[in-house]
Amino acid sequence: MSWPGITAWVLDLPLTTRAAVAVLAVLVVSGLIVLLARRKRSWFVRGVPAAVIAAIVVTAGAALLVEKVWKPFPDRLPWVVYGWVGVAVLAVALLIGRWFARRRDRARPLAASGLVAAMLVVVIAAAGRIDAVYGAYPTVRAVLGITDYRTVSLDDPSVASSRTLSVAEWSPPGNLPTTGAVTSVTIPGAVSGFRAREARVYLPPAYFSDPRPELPVLILLPGQPGGPEDWLVGGRLTQTMDSYAAEHRGLAPVVVVADGTGGQLDNPLCVDSRLGNAATYLAVDVPAWVRDHLQVDDDPKAWAVGGLSYGGTCALQLATTRPDVYPTFLDFSGQAEPTLGNRDETIRDVFGGDAEAFARNNPADLLRRNRYPDSAGAFVVGTDDAEYRAGVESLAAAARDAGMDVHLTELPGTHNYALWAAALEKELSWLAQRLGLGN
Q: What pLDDT, on the 0 to 100 scale, is given for residue 439? A: 64
CATH number of the structural domain 149-434: 3.40.50.1820
CA distance 345 to 365: 18
Please tell me the predicted confidence (pLDDT) of residue 112: 81
Confidence of residue 11 (pLDDT cuts 50, 70, 90): confident
Helices (H), 135-197: 140-143
Mean pLDDT, range 143-172, rounded to an integer: 92
d(C-alpha 221, C-alpha 230), whole Å: 9
Kindly provide the b/e burial profile for residues 266-285, where b requires at least 16 CB atoms within 10 angstroms of the residue's own CB.
bbbbbbbbebbbbbbbbbbb
Q: Which range (7-11, 149-153, 312-316, 409-413) has the least confidence?
A: 7-11
Give bridge partners of residue 140 from the DSSP assignment: none
Average per-residue pLDDT in the chain?
A: 93
Phi, psi values for residue 115, rounded to 5°: -70, -45
Cβ(208)–Cβ(161) below 8 Å: no
Confidence label for 173 from pLDDT (cuts 50, 70 and 90): very high
Which segment, 7-16, 42-51, 105-114, 283-292, is predicted with the most confidence on average? 283-292
Between 39 and 414, residue with greater pLDDT:
414
Give pLDDT, residue 79. Answer: 93
Give residue 110's pLDDT.
Answer: 81
> What backbone torsions phi and psi does residue 132 show, to the nearest 5 degrees?
-65, -25
Q: What is the C-alpha separation between 25 and 28, in angstroms, rounded? A: 5
Which contiguous run of DSSP H or E holds residue 368?
helix 363-369
Residue 306 host element (H or E) = strand 303-308
Is the pLDDT reported for residue 4 higher than 70? no
pLDDT at 271: 97
Specify the range with the lowest mean pLDDT, choosing from 92-96, 104-108, 128-132, 283-287: 104-108
Which residues, including other chains, have CB under 8 Å from residue 367's CB and lie 6 or more apart? Answer: 320, 395, 398, 399, 401, 402, 404
3-state helix, strand, coil in the chain (%, to 5): 50, 15, 35
Question: What is the spatial distance between Cα 255 and Cα 238, in angstroms, rounded to a whole number?
Answer: 10
Higher pLDDT, residue 47 or 180:
180
- 105: pLDDT confidence band, cut at 50, 70 and 90? low
DSSP line for 96-162: HHHHHH-HHHHHSHHHHHHHHHHHHHHHHHHHHHHHHHHTS--BHHHHTT---S-B--TTSGGGS--
Q: What is the CA radius of gyration of the chain?
A: 25
pLDDT at residue 104 in the model: 60
CA distance 179 to 66: 42
The domain segmentation of the chain, as residue ranges, is 17-134, 149-434
DSSP state of 377: E
The pLDDT value recorded for residue 107 is: 59
Residue 148 confidence class, pLDDT cut points 50, 70, 90: confident
Residue type, 232: L
pLDDT tens per residue across span 238-250 = 999 999 999 999 9
The answer to whether residues 398 and 337 touch, using CB atoms and an 8 Å cutoff, is no
pLDDT value of position 139: 86
pLDDT tens-digit map of 205-240:
999 999 999 999 999 999 999 999 999 999 999 999
Q: Which of 106-110, 215-219, 388-392 has the lowest mean pLDDT?
A: 106-110
40 vs 44, 45, 109, 351, 362, CA distance in Å? 7, 9, 21, 61, 62
To the nearest 10 degrees (0 to 180), the angle between helices 109-134 and 79-101 is 180
pLDDT at 14: 82
pLDDT, position 16: 84
- Interatomic CA distance for residues 48 and 71, integer angstroms: 32
pLDDT in tens, 195-204: 999 999 999 9
Q: What percent of the chain has pLDDT over 70?
A: 96
161 by Cβ neighbours in 10 Å (0-12 / 13-18 / 19+) ranks as exposed
pLDDT band at 380 (very low <50, low <70, confident <90, very high): very high
